[in-house]
Each structure stands twice: as structure tokens, then as C-alpha cells.
Amino acid sequence: MNFKLLVLDVDGTLLNSSREISERTIKTLKKVQQNGVRIALASGRPTSGVLPYAKAIDLDFNDGFIISYNGAKVLEASTGKVIFERAIDPRLVPYLEKQVQRSGCVLAYYDGDEVVATDIENPHIVDEAQMNNMSLRQVDSISEAMADLGDDKATWPTEVILVNDNQQMLNGIDSHLQRHLNGVVDTILSNPYYLEIVGYQVGKSHAMSALVQKMGINMDEVIAFGDGRADINMLQMAGVGIAMANAPEEVKRCADYTTLSNDEDGAAIAIEQAFEEEQEKHEDTEEVPVDVLNAQNKNTLMGTLGMQYTYASPQRVEATMPVDKRTRQPFGILAGGASLALAETLAGLGSMIACKPGEMAVGMQISGNHVSSAHDGDTVRGVATPIHLGRSSHVWQVQVFTSTGKLVSTVMVTNSVMSKR
């Protein structure tokens, strides 16, 4: 399975118990993005609470996405452009308040950079504000606080939060709202003490569907990670759903696999394994027949310089080239320009293999370091491996060795990927 989208829950999955991203996880996520996989962070937090983590893994430089408010909002990390948004009608809020008025629940919602709540001293509300670097505003009634919002949906809240440490009570409210407001709102028990009321058909799985449609890919090309009840539908819908070891048993039962906990780099380890298997599969099944390539290049620069491909796949391309009158300097050593020609040839073939149907690659930049010499009569070997296979550019490292394995040159080649006209 060729994964093209990686969707990660934030708290309890991406973050450890200290609410930090480990160095291993950062390194792993940056690497998979360099290989062309796009990442979406999916959280119940407001967008502002996800942004610091998106920046930490370079989501804004790699065309990544942020799914916030448990799927009520999806945006591009690089531009802030909203792809999907669904709010809750504030005219429903008085009904919600009436249903919970004797429950002792604290009600809250997000308004810009504020958490607006009926009890700003509640420890869960305080933690929510601190966690997302937001201020607090006390109100007697959230429906009264929303009274002036009107019909402009851009001003409507993304969700209303009910907070209570009595989980049994929250379960009862959840069941009641599902019976009486079915088809109007959805409910999400994101924590034992949080019941979130969101717009109809809002959830991480719906947000993920919107992304899949935007990207033009299939759901079986998605791998998702999560640890909470709000992640269950997302894990079930993805091509592969992976639960964290710290997830409740009901979440693990809904996933395809369970990895280690968020304090054991569980997400990073599972991602590394998944993409290592993918790379091995490509190397095993997508090797290109080099005899056909060599026959096609007989009357090209490659043929003129005596180059011969010996191996070609999306992850590695190799070729040999003789050091003779065609490629040497007057002093009998390999010309630097011949090394660069070999490197550009290898990287060009690698990009051609890696391109999707309807795409082509052209050279943009090449730079080389010549560290030792190869002499007349020897045969050098070039090995090209990808450093970055993105949507718009490929970067290859090419190393040139003598027949005894001594490094002659290290060359970096950048190719531009574009659509065929």
C-alpha cells in the first residue's frame, strides 16, 4: 500500500505525557514529508493550539494540513486557507443550556483567542486555556454571550463544550442529545470529563474524507493514528488505523494495529516500520529492466561516454562509466565534468521512475565536490539515492566510486517535477 496521507491525533498520540514532541518523532515526520507523504494533525484543540506543533514538524513547508475542533475546521498549514468548516447554530444553544441546567456542567466555547465559560476557575477550563495559550472570559450564560452573532455563519462557534467530572452524567446527556437532536448536531465524548457538541456530520473522519477528496487520493492510501474515542471513526475509515498503547481498549479494538505508547515514541516507531516496508516493497517489485534502458541510450550522451545502467528503482539508480579517452583529462584522470554528467544522468532516470503518470522531471541545479581521482583504465560506479521526493521537486545525492570503492565525487542534483503538456 502506497501511503500518501498520514493523519495524526495530537494529545496522547503525537505528544508525550509532558505535551512535547520527541526528537525521534520530529525527525521521523520530517523524513516522511521529504519523501512526498503529506501530514494532517487532527485535534480537538482550537487551531491556535495546534499551530506550534505543526510548525515544529515543518507542516507549513510541506503542504500539510491542520484539522482542529475535532474536525469542524480543516485548513492548509502553509496558507491558512480553510478547506472545510462547519459551525454550530447558536440558536440551538439555549436548548442545550436548558437540558443541562441542573447537571452542574460548565459550558464553554471558543471565541477567537478566548475560552468563554460559565466557570473560568474550573481546573479543566483553566488547563484548556493554558494548553492553547488562550485567555479566559467569564459569562453567566453562553447563549446570552452569543446573542448578537446573528446569521453570519463565519461568526458562529465551532463547538460547545460541556465539562463535568461525572462521566456517567455526561454519558446520559450524550444519549439524550443524540435522541433529540439527531441530524442537527453531533456529539463527541473526547475525554471522560468533556462532551463536545458540534455541527452535524462533524468529526475527524469527515475532515479526513474532505482531505482525501481534495488530494484526489483513495482512503486506502491513508494511515491514521489516535488514542481517544474521538479517533475511532478516523481509525476505522483509514486504509490503516493504528491505536496507541495508552488508548482505551474500545479504541484498540477498532484499530488495525496497536503500537507502543505516546511516551515510548509509539507513533514514530510504527511510521518508520510502515514506510520501511513500503520502501522495501518498491525496491523488490519496481526494479526497472536495465537492458532496455541501455539499448535506448545507445545513441545519446550516455552511450557516447560509455555509461551503462546496472540497477534502477524508485529508491536507487546505479551505473558504470569507463575512464578512457572519452571521459579523462589530458593528464589521464577522470574529468570532473564527466562525473557531473554521470550524476545528472542517474538523478534524471531516478526522477523519471519516481514521477507519477502525467508528470515529467527536468534538471534545475547540480553541484559537486570532487574529493579524489580515478585514473585512465579504471571504471567508476555512480550510485544515486533520493533525499527528497516532493510534489514539485526531487533532490538526489549521487556518489561516484572507483572500482576499488574509493569515493571520487559527491554530487547533489535537484530536478523540477511538472505536468506534461
Q: Which residues are catalytic?
A: 344
Please tell me the distance from the alpha carbon of residue 93 to that of residue 73, in angstroms, as a whole number: 20
Please tell me the distance from the alpha carbon of residue 362 to that of residue 352, in angstroms, as a whole number: 9
Please tell me the distance from the alpha carbon of residue 7 to that of residue 65, in angstroms, as a whole number: 9
**Helix (H) or strand (E) segment spanning residue 24:** helix 23-34
Please tell me the distance from the alpha carbon of residue 343 to that of residue 356, in angstroms, as a whole number: 22
Residues 412, 397 contacting (CB under 8 angstroms)? yes
CA dihedral 8, 68, 187, 169 (to 10 degrees): 80
DSSP class per residue in 191-240: ETTEEEEEETT-SHHHHHHHHHHHHT--GGGEEEEE-SGGGHHHHHHSSE
CA contacts within 13 A on the Cβ side of 26: 12
SS3 284: helix
**Helix (H) or strand (E) segment spanning residue 348:** helix 336-354
SS3 46: coil
Please report, for residues 349, 365, 395, the alpha-carbon distance to residue 362 in angstroms, rounded to integers and kept in the order given: 10, 10, 12
Burial class (CB in 10 A: 0-12, 13-18, 19+), 373: middle
SS3 103: coil
Please tell me the distance from the alpha carbon of residue 256 to that of residue 249, in angstroms, as a whole number: 13
Write the Ramachandran bin of 201: left for phi over 0, alpha for psi from -120 to 50, otherwise beta: left
Residues 242, 269 contacting (CB under 8 angstroms)? no
Residues 262, 21 contacting (CB under 8 angstroms)? no
Please tell me the distance from the alpha carbon of residue 40 to that of residue 260, in angstroms, as a whole number: 21
Please tell me the distance from the alpha carbon of residue 266 to that of residue 259, in angstroms, as a whole number: 5
Residues 14, 6 contacting (CB under 8 angstroms)? no
